[in-house]
Structure 1
Amino acid sequence: MDRLQAMSMFVKVVEVGSFSAASKDLNVPLPTLSRKIAEFENQLGVRLLHRTTRKLSLTDSGSDYIDACKRILEQVEEAEGRAKGEYLEPKGDLVITAPIMFGRLHVLPIIIEFLSLYPNINVQLLLSDRNMDLFEDDVDMAIRIGQLPDSTMIGTQVGSMRVVTCASQLFLSGQPELQSPYDLTQRSCILLNTAKTIPYWRYYLPSSGLTVHIDVLPRLTVNDSDSAVKAAVKGVGITQQLHYQVQDLIDKGDLKVILHEFEPDKVPVHLLHKTRKYLPQKMKVFLEFILPTLKKSISDLSVSN
């Protein structure tokens, strides 16, 4: 049996959480994959995986062995990369993903400047508000806004983002001034409803030091931030957004931040990639380039209105 192939199959099954998903990713028939893993376990003389109809989990031996497999596969990948020359000089293709609006405003300009300095590197920028899987979608690096789940991937925080509540002056001029977040229950609101949003708005109460959840009654519900922001500009109601999504409109006076003294904790922004070491030069130089630039861009957002 090809031991490296078996290790790769074992790691893939664990990463995606099922034999069927790993079968699709590896383009290997499910019975073949199951047989290969069973043969691998027989060769090692230990059980690596607990299999039930509903759940797949690592045994104690499997938990110890998975880390060793990953290290070995990384070393093999490094050796192959050296043979190709990509660990000696920055060259090759990079696949980067980021949220649509944030990527367009804050990541694309950095990539354009980066490409002007490294003519032998090509970048594919995938803008999506869906959190793409770095393994399944073959992505080198992701920019993520929000708390990261526990994983084996490497996250580097580059800043944090304010969560602001805002409305147009047209809307606010016809309403009594809001004194607290609880007043929102009596006002027209624009709710964002996506797979990553929560059905309430969070606020911090300075008087008690508590964070509260306000169940707003939406006059309008949409599934993308751009539509919510446009509706707010037209005076439909109040919306809560990440600061970068409304900064330009606030600067131009089309929207006004309200309840700023009750803003909840800032949301972290991370760069996420798959491996801690044995990075090819193209990844090393990109990390070194984007880290300080993106940190400054996010920091500038934090100090603006």
Structure 2
Amino acid sequence: MDRFDTMLAFTRVVELESFTKAAMSLNLPKTTVSAQVLALEKRLRVKLLHRTTRRISVTTDGAAYYERAIRLLNELEETEAALHQATSNPKGRLRVDVPTPLGRLVIIPALQDFLKRYPEIQLEIGCDDRPIDLLEEGVDCVIRVGHPLDSTLVARRVGTMQFLLVASPEYLQTYGRPTHHDDLQRHQAVHFFSSKTGKVRNFVLEHSGEEQEIPTNRKLAINNGDAIVAAALAGIGVCQVPTFMVQGYLNEGKLERVLGDYPTGSLPLNALYPQNRHLSTKVRTFIEWVAELFAECRLLQSQPKLNNNS
């Protein structure tokens, strides 16, 4: 039985605290993973795991072995990647997860370029906004908006999401057009709230180079960007939304920019992946492609093309 296979099986069981989940992530039968860990313990002549009917935990010897095993596996993968990178294209299954609006409007429309460049990658994309356990769900990396909250993940900045204040022409005709940020207190506002934290995101405008939260008459809060855009189109109120989500509606005249002379807030776009894993060639390739895409994407630029008065 290959030593590195047994080492990989053991580290995955430790990380997921489950033989079943480890087997699923390695695409192996559970009996195979169990046999590999038993063989490893037999060869080392130490007990690496505490096993009960409810949970699996690592022993003191197992924890020490895990730390060294992870380093060795990472070094092995890095060495193999360096040797093969010059002569082979990235290949294999790559599973990523991206926010639904960003995937629908920016990433997926550009995917033909990625698939042509890297024909040996089998790409699986989840479009979701929920928190994801990358190890447990077998996800290689995720693209997320905002500042990372999970310290167990490595974050690489791949872009910036700019925001605009918008409203429908019908709403502005009925309630008037605000000309100063203080005017927003007299208008109906539709806000975003996070399903993860429950926190409502206030409107943000820049003043003297600093972002400031603006008081508003909060009419409605919604936890989905597409639904907020729908609320704006329905004339419910003023919304602060990502530029890329409303550019088409601005061009068509279905929405209009509000307070266009005031710079609006922004949030970072990050690629996240587990910190205890070596960054594989295929993951690095996707992250670099996404960063290039975001840098060139007109929908993500801070000064979008507008066909209406702001």
Question: What TM-score, normalized by structure 1, do the two folds share?
Answer: 0.71
Alpha carbons of 1:259 and 1:280: their partners in 2 closer, same or farther (altered >3 Å)? same
**Which residue of structure 1 aligns with residue 200 of structure 2?**
199
Are residues 1:178 and 2:178 paired? yes
* Code of the aligned partner of 1:156: R
Supply the distance in 1 between the matched residues of 2:296 and 2:225 (Cα, whole angstroms).
Answer: 24
Give the match's secondary structure for 1:130.
Answer: coil
Deviations 1:68-113 (A, max 9, x none): 443223245568989999x944221211211111111111133222
Supply the distance in 1 between the matched residues of 2:156 and 2:271 (Cα, whole angstroms).
Answer: 5
Are residues 1:25 and 2:29 paired? no
**Which residue of structure 2 aligns with residue 212 of structure 1?**
213
Q: Say if 2:93 and 2:122, in contact at 8 Å, map to a contact too.
A: yes
Residue 261 of structure 1, CA deviation: 4.4
Residue 221 of structure 1, CA deviation: 4.2
**Which residue of structure 2 aligns with residue 52 of structure 1?**
none
Supply the distance in 2 between the matched residues of 1:214 and 1:99 (Cα, whole angstroms).
Answer: 28
Q: Say if 2:97 and 2:125, in contact at 8 Å, map to a contact too.
A: yes
Supply the distance in 2 between the matched residues of 1:115 and 1:9 (Cα, whole angstroms).
Answer: 33
Supply the distance in 1 between the matched residues of 2:152 and 2:247 (Cα, whole angstroms).
Answer: 34
Q: Say if 1:140 and 1:273, in contact at 8 Å, map to a contact too.
A: yes
**Which residue of structure 1 aligns with residue 163 of structure 2?**
163
Residue 200 of structure 1, CA deviation: 4.1
Question: What TM-score, normalized by structure 2, do the two folds share?
Answer: 0.70
Q: Say if 2:98 and 2:144, in contact at 8 Å, map to a contact too.
A: yes
Structure 1 segments unaligned to the other structure (5+ residues):
14-18, 49-55
**Which residue of structure 1 aligns with residue 131 of structure 2?**
131
* Code of the aligned partner of 2:101: M
Q: Say if 1:159 and 1:299, in contact at 8 Å, map to a contact too.
A: no
Deviations 1:250-297 (A, max 9, x none): 222211121344445410112223369854443344344333223211
Supply the distance in 1 between the matched residues of 2:217 and 2:261 (Cα, whole angstroms).
Answer: 19
Give the match's secondary structure for 1:246.
Answer: helix
Residue 210 of structure 1, CA deviation: 6.2
User: Equivalent residues in 2 for 1:225-236 (5 A)?
Assistant: 225-236=225-236
Alpha carbons of 1:137 and 1:105: their partners in 2 closer, same or farther (altered >3 Å)? same
Supply the distance in 2 between the matched residues of 1:96 and 1:3 (Cα, whole angstroms).
Answer: 25
Q: Say if 2:250 and 2:256, in contact at 8 Å, map to a contact too.
A: yes
Supply the distance in 1 between the matched residues of 2:172 and 2:65 (Cα, whole angstroms).
Answer: 61
Structure 2 segments unaligned to the other structure (5+ residues):
1-5, 24-29, 50-56, 306-310
Residue 204 of structure 1, CA deviation: 3.5
Residue 66 of structure 1, CA deviation: 6.4
Give the match's secondary structure for 2:200.
Answer: coil
User: Equivalent residues in 2 for 1:33-182 (5 A)?
Assistant: 43=46, 68-75=68-75, 88-182=88-182
Deviations 1:41-85 (A, max 9, x none): x9599xx9xxxxxxx9xx9x96x9865443223245568989999
Supply the distance in 1 between the matched residues of 2:106 and 2:276 (Cα, whole angstroms).
Answer: 25
Supply the distance in 2 between the matched residues of 1:286 and 1:255 (Cα, whole angstroms).
Answer: 34
Supply the distance in 2 between the matched residues of 1:132 and 1:208 (Cα, whole angstroms).
Answer: 34
Alpha carbons of 1:260 and 1:198: their partners in 2 closer, same or farther (altered >3 Å)? farther
**Which residue of structure 2 aligns with residue 9 of structure 1?**
13
Alpha carbons of 1:210 and 1:89: their partners in 2 closer, same or farther (altered >3 Å)? closer
Alpha carbons of 1:230 and 1:88: their partners in 2 closer, same or farther (altered >3 Å)? same
Alpha carbons of 1:124 and 1:200: their partners in 2 closer, same or farther (altered >3 Å)? closer
**Which residue of structure 1 aligns with residue 52 of structure 2?**
none
Q: CA RMSD in A?
A: 4.3
**Which residue of structure 1 aligns with residue 258 of structure 2?**
258
Report % sequence identity.
25
Supply the distance in 2 between the matched residues of 1:139 and 1:164 (Cα, whole angstroms).
Answer: 32
